[in-house]
């Protein structure tokens, strides 16, 4: 980032001014949410040569140094849930003359035809009102640059935030991802296939503040490792948002073989899904996760009719969260493209669910008929076997 000379004895420090999102609304829990967003900011920037991080009234300010890469920092901040917006900002004494000089220096190096000044006083003790500040500074800028004032669609906005002991000045406000800081919403376990939907479902839960543990079922040795490699790549991508992830890789092929030999074709998918939930529930309990998450979307495939969803969920005692239930494929795809998971999801793999499948799939099952179909299976043994054969992987970001 460009640094310019100082106008006062103390050069204005540069850093990022961060405004947080819904945390501001959380009343008595505000301290808890703030500590979490601060911890997340420190984690994600730990290799970026910046800091310290401080809390000026209702905001966060992260100092930057000469060595800090603004591009990297900007990208990392766009992955921190809880941030409403952020801006590279100068910080200085809350003095109108100092501010005006600083602004004159800054704007004289820029080309713009129209501008507006957007001053905000966090405390009303400042001698001028926000409108008076806008007018005083606006007149000076006009005199130097000859640009016109445009309050609706200016080329340049000069943002000023005045606190009792310091002022922030910036020219660019960048949108954050919103949501709640990861770590404030408890832990959930997401059933992650290599498909398009489940990584988006995990993302949406993280955005609501959850830490996500991942569970992937594969059919090795009956299939190759492609679905596992995709799951690892997807988790690597999603770890940007939560800094540390645990992925369980669970062999499911032998279980599917047993299902094939005992369960009629039309009910197999529902029985597989129920077994996946039972296994995921054991893993969730071990990891302290309070709910399971799936990428189900109503009516998208035959296992996702309302009847089958109801039959499947009876296999779990944990709540099942389906953040995509009301979204259509285009919306999910768009979100997957936005977060970068889509390109990984569409690479071909040998998915366990496409193996051992029957051509006929029942779309309107009842729990009763599926329980009957499961009778020949030793469910407890199958679940225990899968849990003990599961491998776990730890991923972290920044690596």
Residue nearest to Mg ion (CB): 195
Comparing CA positions, the residue from 308, 276, 282 lying closest to residue 294 is 276
3-state secondary structure of 257: helix
Among residues 42 and 325, whose Cβ is nearest to Mg ion?
325
Q: Pick from ligand ATP, Mg ion, none: which does 217 bind, CB < 5 to 8 A by kind?
A: ligand ATP
User: Least distance (Å) from Mg ion to the CB of residue 361?
Assistant: 13
User: Least distance (Å) from ligand ATP to the CB of residue 393?
Assistant: 14
Joined together, the tokens standing for residue 303 give 């296992």
Among residues 145 and 325, whose Cβ is nearest to ligand ATP?
325
| Four-residue CA torsion sign, 228, 229, 232, 233 | negative
Among residues 184 and 193, whose Cβ is nearest to ligand ATP?
193
Alpha-helix runs per DSSP H in 45-184 = 70-77, 96-108, 130-145
- Please name every residue paired with 391 in a beta bridge, in sequence order, or none if there are none: 249
Decide if 188 contacts 203 (C-beta within 8 A). Answer: no
User: Least distance (Å) from Mg ion to the CB of residue 257?
Assistant: 20
User: Least distance (Å) from ligand ATP to the CB of residue 228?
Assistant: 10
- Span from 11-19, 144-152, 186-194, 356-364 in contact with Mg ion (CB under 5 A): 186-194
Among residues 192 and 386, whose Cβ is nearest to ligand ATP?
192
- What are φ and ψ of residue 76, in 5° steps? -60, -40
Integer Cα distance of 55 and 74 in angstroms: 19
How many of the chain's residues bind Mg ion (CB under 5 A)?
Answer: 2
Instruction: Give one word for 82, left, alpha or beta, with left for phi > 0 and alpha for psi -120 to 50.
Output: left
Decide if 238 contacts 258 (C-beta within 8 A). Answer: no
Residue nearest to ligand ATP (CB): 195
Sort 108 into a burial class: Cβ within 10 Å, 0-12 / 13-18 / 19+: exposed
User: Least distance (Å) from Mg ion to the CB of residue 193?
Assistant: 4
Q: Pick from Mg ion, ligand ATP, none: which does 313 bind, CB < 5 to 8 A by kind?
A: none
The alpha carbon of residue 232 and the mean position of all alpha carbons in its chain are separated, in whole angstroms, by: 17
- Please name every residue paired with 211 in a beta bridge, in sequence order, or none if there are none: 187
User: Contact with Mg ion (CB under 5 A): which of 68, 193, 228, 305?
Assistant: 193
Among residues 15 and 336, whose Cβ is nearest to ligand ATP?
336
Among residues 303 and 335, whose Cβ is nearest to ligand ATP?
303
195 is a contact residue toward Mg ion (CB under 5 A) = yes
Q: Pick from ligand ATP, Mg ion, none: which does 159 bind, CB < 5 to 8 A by kind?
A: none
Among residues 184 and 193, whose Cβ is nearest to Mg ion?
193
Q: Pick from Mg ion, ligand ATP, none: which does 352 bind, CB < 5 to 8 A by kind?
A: ligand ATP
- Span from 67-75, 185-193, 214-222, 331-339 in contact with Mg ion (CB under 5 A): 185-193
Chain residues in the site for ligand ATP (CB under 6 A): 191-193, 195-198, 215-217, 276, 294-296, 300-301, 303-304, 351-353
Nearest-10 crossing angle of helices 70-77, 30-44: 140
Residue 66 contacts by C-beta under 8 Å, 6 or more apart in sequence?
3
Integer Cα distance of 399 and 236 in angstroms: 10
Which residue reads 């001014």 in tokens?
A: 17
Among residues 7 and 191, whose Cβ is nearest to ligand ATP?
191
Which spans of this chain sit near Mg ion (rule: CB under 5 A)?
A: 193, 195
């Amino acid at each position: 980032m460009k640094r310019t000379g100082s106008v006062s004895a103390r050069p204005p420090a540069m850093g990022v001014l961060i405004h947080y999102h819904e945390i501001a609304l959380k009343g008595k829990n505000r301290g808890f949410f703030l500590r979490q967003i601060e911890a997340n900011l420190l984690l994600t920037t730990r290799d970026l040569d910046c800091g310290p991080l401080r809390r000026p009234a209702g905001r966060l300010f992260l100092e930057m140094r000469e060595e800090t890469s603004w591009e990297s920092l900007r990208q990392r901040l766009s992955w921190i849930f809880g941030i409403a917006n952020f801006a590279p900002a100068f910080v200085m004494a809350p003095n109108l003359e100092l501010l005006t000089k600083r602004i004159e220096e800054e704007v004289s190096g820029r080309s713009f035809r129209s501008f507006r000044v957007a001053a905000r006083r966090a405390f009303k003790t400042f001698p001028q009102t926000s409108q008076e500040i806008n007018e005083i500074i606006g007149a000076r800028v006009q005199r130097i640059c000859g640009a016109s004032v445009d309050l609706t669609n200016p080329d340049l906005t000069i943002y000023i935030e005045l606190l009792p002991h310091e002022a922030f000045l910036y020219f660019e406000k960048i949108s954050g991802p919103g949501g709640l800081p990861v770590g404030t919403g408890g832990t959930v376990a997401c059933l992650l296939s290599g498909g398009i939907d489940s990584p988006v479902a995990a993302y949406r839960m993280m955005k609501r503040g959850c830490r996500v543990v991942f569970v992937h079922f594969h059919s090795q040795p009956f299939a190759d490792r492609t679905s596992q490699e995709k799951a690892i790549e997807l988790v690597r991508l999603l770890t940007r948002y939560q800094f540390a992830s645990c992925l369980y890789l669970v062999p499911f092929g032998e279980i599917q073989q047993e299902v094939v030999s005992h369960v009629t074709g039309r009910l197999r998918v529902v029985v597989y899904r129920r077994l996946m939930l039972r296994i995921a529930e054991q893993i969730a309990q071990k990891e302290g996760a309070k709910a399971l998450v799936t990428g189900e979307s109503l009516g998208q495939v035959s296992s996702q009719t309302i009847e089958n969803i109801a039959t499947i969920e009876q296999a779990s005692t944990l709540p099942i969260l389906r953040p995509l239930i009301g979204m259509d494929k285009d919306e999910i795809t768009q979100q997957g493209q936005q977060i970068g998971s889509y390109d990984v999801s569409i690479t071909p793999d040998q998915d366990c669910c496409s193996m051992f499948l029957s051509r006929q799939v029942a779309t309107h099952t009842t729990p009763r008929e599926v329980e009957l179909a499961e009778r020949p299976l030793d469910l407890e043994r199958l679940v225990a076997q899968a849990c003990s054969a599961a491998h776990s992987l730890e991923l972290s970001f920044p690596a």
